[in-house]
Structure 1
Amino acid sequence: MVSITSVELNYLVFRYLHESGFTHSAFALGYEAGINKSPIDGNLVPPGALVTFVQKGLQYLELEANLSNSDADVDDDFSFLQPLDLITKDVYELRQIIKEKKENLQKERAKDKEKEKDKELDREHERERGREREKERQEKEKEREKDRERIEKDKEREREKEKEKQHEDHIDREQIRDREDKSTIKPEDNGVCGGPEPMDICVNSPSLPCEIPSSDVAILEGHTSEVFACAWSPAGSLLASGSGDSTARIWTIPDGPCSSSMQNGPPNVLVLKHFKGRTNEKSKDVTTLDWNGEGTLLATGSYDGQARIWSRDGELKSTLNKHKGPIFSLKWNKKGDCLLSGSVDKTAIVWDVKTGEWKQQFEFHSAPTLDVDWRNSNSFATCSTDNMIYVCKIGENRPIKTFSGHQGEVNAIKWDPTGSLLASCSDDSTAKIWSMKQDKYVHDLMEHAKEIYTIRWSPTGPGTNNPNQPLVLASASFDSTIKLWDVEQGILLHSLNGHSDPVYSVAFSPNGEYLASGSLDKCMHIWSIRDGKMVKTYTGGGGIFEVCWNKEGDKIAACFANNTVCVMDFRM
């Protein structure tokens, strides 16, 4: 008996079918099933195996015919079947297997498409967020660039003004030297530096003003750069000063004459550092400072855009950080619970002193905010290089009053003692007086020849400690003069013509009878309000940026460009 293996039989079947014209893939599948998944055990193929394969091949043809209505490729449909299924299952079962597997495949593909769609949406959202972040970054960079350009323009303007001042100073010095050559009288040195002749200092007075002797002057040294600001505490004998050396200082000035206090050694001083490192940082110049009404807290504003609150003992209480540019002005309100600051970033901010957080930011100006001043405990005014003045109120999102009329940068604003009139001064060489009762200015004061840098109201008139004296406004200009104005009639009372350089600061004595003025010509003059005459003068070692009186009115402080602060006794 001849035996034949299953492989040999399958091959013979394949050859038979192929040579008989059955070349369709269905018979190839039958052949592959016979080779790989034959249900027959052993190598011997029993009789009937050939018939079984041929029958399966015919069944595949029938299955293919039933599947021909589908859009899918027939070979793909057969790929859902296992060779063992082809041998052991009939056509109906095979169709069910293919149908179920196709449906499952479609569901899987649908799920995959949904997942891919979700992923694509996530990717698109992330790309959108990225585009928004990039847009915000570009806008912030543009804003920072604009701020840098504005600051650079401001610096360039200051440089031009300084060049103009130096040129005028040179001409004035030549004239003084010519007069000195013709004169045989020489002024006495006051112990600090040589000054011009008294006759040159006070050209509008028939009598010579009294030079403040060096024995009545205490020179406070310690700052290592220009001293820009100074202010007496309203309670006690503390004097604060702010400098370009990134520090503020609180000096304890003893009562009594300056000569006796200096004999006891230098005054006690607290150094308020505005930097953390060992070296000074120019960006942290102290530009402005102000005591609260009780004299318990000192606020400082810095070029780094931060305001800081200190105790009278020199302890840093809080750092107020929201401005994006240098702070040029800050003021306490009368209640002492809020601090107001104005910045180069065009905004003004009201701070809650108790929490150290900002209460409201006012973004009305289109250019740097130069000055701010409270009208009462919840409303205030702001002015800017955009020529505009706004009156604002805490809780309101728009100005409650708008004053327009200046044709140049508005440098300073001040409410009168009762909060009913607002004075302003500008680069347009005018000072103006405004009332909340009308939109247009009440008075337009036009006697100055150059920019007006600052203004001050006298502490006189109704509602003050000096109600029997008339209210007066003082204006100080780059034309080297100070002018005193009758604010009721809007007319000039006196023109004080004793300085030879721009006047940066003026301050009234507490009794309203005298005015102190400080100029870049290194001179501090004291004037009588009654007749406009100069009564005292002092020449220091540098230009004067600010002058101020103590609450008793017997001492005057002045801060200088030569890094010193001077305290002078005032006696008539």
Structure 2
Amino acid sequence: MKIEACAILAALLFHSLSVSAQQGETAAAAGFSKDIAPILTKKCVACHGPEKSKGRFRLDTFEFLMKGGESKSASVVPGQPAQSELFRRLTARDEDDRMPQKDDPLPAAQISLIEQWINAGAKFDGPDPKAPLVTLIPRAPHPEPPSSYHHPVPILALAFNPDGTELAAGGYHEITIWNPNEGTLLRRIKNVAQRTHSLDYSPDGALLAAAGGSPGQWGEVAVFNPTNGARVRVLGSMPDTALTVSFSPDGSRLAVGGADNSLRVYDVPAGKEQLVIQQHADWVMSIAWSGDGTRLASASRDRTARVYDAKTGDLETSYTGHQGPVFAVAFSGDGQRVYSAGRDKKIHVWDAKEGKEAGQIGGFDDDIFKLLVSGNWILSCSADKKIRQHSADKRELLRTLAGHNDWVYSLAVDGKSKRLASGSYDGEVRVWNLEDGQSLAAFIAAPGYPAAGETVRASTRE
């Protein structure tokens, strides 16, 4: 009996030591970047970030997290969860006091991770404590796109390759590549963010840049090999969706704007962020390079459009003539003028140096989403389901391209063949001849979905 009792006691002791060791290993394994940053980004940054900071408390960077807010209590006290205001708020029983507010409490497993991290010293394991938390999170491969689409997705992004033989379109967790003449699918590029809002080919066609993300959670700008679909590099992550992307004329730099109100410029060969420009008070909806690559223009929901020195990021001028959010911007061919448009249903023409209005182009029935300049043409698309082609010199309407049954969100132009591609909310892509306005092709850009000719329906918005 004594032997059995000793054996039982020994087993219990071994089990206790084993559990203790496992707990110690778990605590040691609770890292800030891989465990804590994802929780805070998903559940806390929306109310305690750059756009909104309840209690004057921000935690969108490690540096801000450790500073705390207007409360005199320290947000995080290394080694002491009970003395840490963050942990107290996460575990509070009073719903008015608990974080996150107006949401379910954090699961016990996530609270345990935060407690273990604080107990272990609340150490930072990232490269820069001032970096947004979203940039610290290790990225797993994106989910696979649907093998076959049961319904189309809005076409928010289109881009012709430099020789005009292929047309890229944004999909769901993918970029689809099409033959623009026949509307046939050529290939699918995977490992892409949930939504792609903007696409642009490098001037030599070797790279395809994609800006997108998951709304309200994170944004991403990545470059792909458009031939084999390999993801070459993720240039950057941001706290909210990336909405617009554009290569510089020489292809060495990439500009990105997004829902974090910032404009970023990357060195493409080095894969490094060069500039972060924070001049807007709302989403950056569109960006454009001047023809010589020395200036950048931006359009924002804050009702302004701006021009910057592309090398330094310094603000050169602002245009404040819009009466609503600005969704689109483009430079004139000579770089002397800027065109911008949005919710006020007009194309504003203004001086790129002084920011003074030089004219307007009207005749639109709804929001204008996109502007392109090709030669002497100003091309635009609108929520009124139409594409318009104006002359840049006289600002006269040359033709209206009608045929879409829903809002037209995206445009891409092939200057060599004088073709224009347009994409709409109902998933349809149309290709047009800009010399005579004829429709050359129409298809639904959703692999596995029936052909456009069989599926075009009246819009459900009316």
Q: Give the TM-score band, short-chain normalised.
A: 0.5 to 0.7
Match of 2:305 among 389, 395, 398: 389
Q: Are 1:374 and 2:289 counterparts?
A: yes
Match of 1:133 in 2: 67
Q: Are 1:351 and 2:266 counterparts?
A: yes
Match of 2:190 among 250, 272, 279: 272
Query: Cα 1:231–1:528, aligned 2, differ >3 Å: closer, same or farther?
Result: closer
Match of 1:444 among 338, 342, 360: 360
Q: Are 1:248 and 2:182 counterparts?
A: no
Query: Cα 1:487–1:395, aligned 2, differ >3 Å: closer, same or farther?
Result: closer
Question: What is the alpha-carbon distance in structure 2 between the residues aligned to residue 450 and residue 426 of structure 1?
Answer: 9
Relative to the length of structure 2, the TM-score reads 0.58
Partner amino acid, structure 1, of 2:159: A
Relative to the length of structure 1, the TM-score reads 0.48
1:422-467 Cα shifts (integer Å, max 9, x gaps): 211110111112222432221211211211122222x32xxxxxxx
Overall identity of the aligned pairs, in %: 22
Shift of 1:337: 1.3
1:496-523 Cα shifts (integer Å, max 9, x gaps): 4554533333444535756554445776
Shift of 1:489: 3.0
Q: Are 1:480 and 2:381 counterparts?
A: no
Shift of 1:307: 1.1
Match of 1:233 in 2: 161
Aligned runs of 1:300-315 on 2, under 5 Å? 300-303=210-213, 304-312=218-226, 313-315=228-230
Match of 2:206 among 296, 300, 305: 296
Q: Does the Cα contact within 8 Å between 2:148 and 2:448 map onto a contact in 1? A: no
Question: What is the alpha-carbon distance in structure 1 between the residues aligned to residue 395 and residue 350 of structure 2?
Answer: 11
Q: Secondary structure at the match of 2:357?
A: coil
Structure 1 gap ranges (5+)? 1-128, 142-147, 149-220, 276-283, 461-470, 542-558, 568-572
Question: What is the alpha-carbon distance in structure 2 between the residues aligned to residue 447 and residue 513 of structure 1?
Answer: 24
Q: In terms of Rg, which structure is larger?
A: 1
Aligned runs of 1:134-533 on 2, under 5 Å? 134-135=68-69, 226=153, 228-235=156-163, 237-244=165-172, 246-249=173-176, 258=182, 267=186, 269=187, 271-274=189-192, 284-303=194-213, 304-312=218-226, 313-375=228-290, 376-396=292-312, 398-457=314-373, 459-460=374-375, 471-511=376-416, 515-520=420-425, 529=434
1:81-109 Cα shifts (integer Å, max 9, x gaps): xxxxxxxxxxxxxxxxxxxxxxxxxxxxx
Shift of 1:374: 1.1
Q: Does the Cα contact within 8 Å between 1:524 and 1:537 map onto a contact in 2? A: no
Query: Cα 1:237–1:449, aligned 2, differ >3 Å: closer, same or farther?
Result: closer
Question: What is the alpha-carbon distance in structure 1 between the residues aligned to residue 441 and residue 379 of structure 2?
Answer: 20
Shift of 1:235: 4.9
Q: Secondary structure at the match of 2:344?
A: coil
Q: Does the Cα contact within 8 Å between 2:158 and 2:422 map onto a contact in 1? A: no
Q: CA RMSD in A?
A: 3.8
Question: What is the alpha-carbon distance in structure 2 between the residues aligned to residue 499 and residue 130 of structure 1?
Answer: 48
Question: What is the alpha-carbon distance in structure 1 between the residues aligned to residue 163 and residue 297 of structure 2?
Answer: 26
Aligned runs of 1:105-124 on 2, under 5 Å? none
Shift of 1:487: 2.7
Q: Identify the structure with the greater helix proportion.
A: 1
Partner amino acid, structure 2, of 1:481: K
Query: Cα 1:562–1:398, aligned 2, differ >3 Å: closer, same or farther?
Result: farther
Match of 2:83 in 1: none
Q: Does the Cα contact within 8 Å between 1:223 and 1:243 map onto a contact in 2? A: no
Q: Are 1:535 and 2:445 counterparts?
A: no
1:547-567 Cα shifts (integer Å, max 9, x gaps): xxxxxxxxxxxx359868989
Question: What is the alpha-carbon distance in structure 1 between the residues aligned to residue 419 and residue 370 of structure 2?
Answer: 17
1:265-288 Cα shifts (integer Å, max 9, x gaps): x74x3533137xxxxxxxx32322
Question: What is the alpha-carbon distance in structure 2 between the residues aligned to residue 236 and residue 131 of structure 1?
Answer: 49
Partner amino acid, structure 2, of 1:318: R
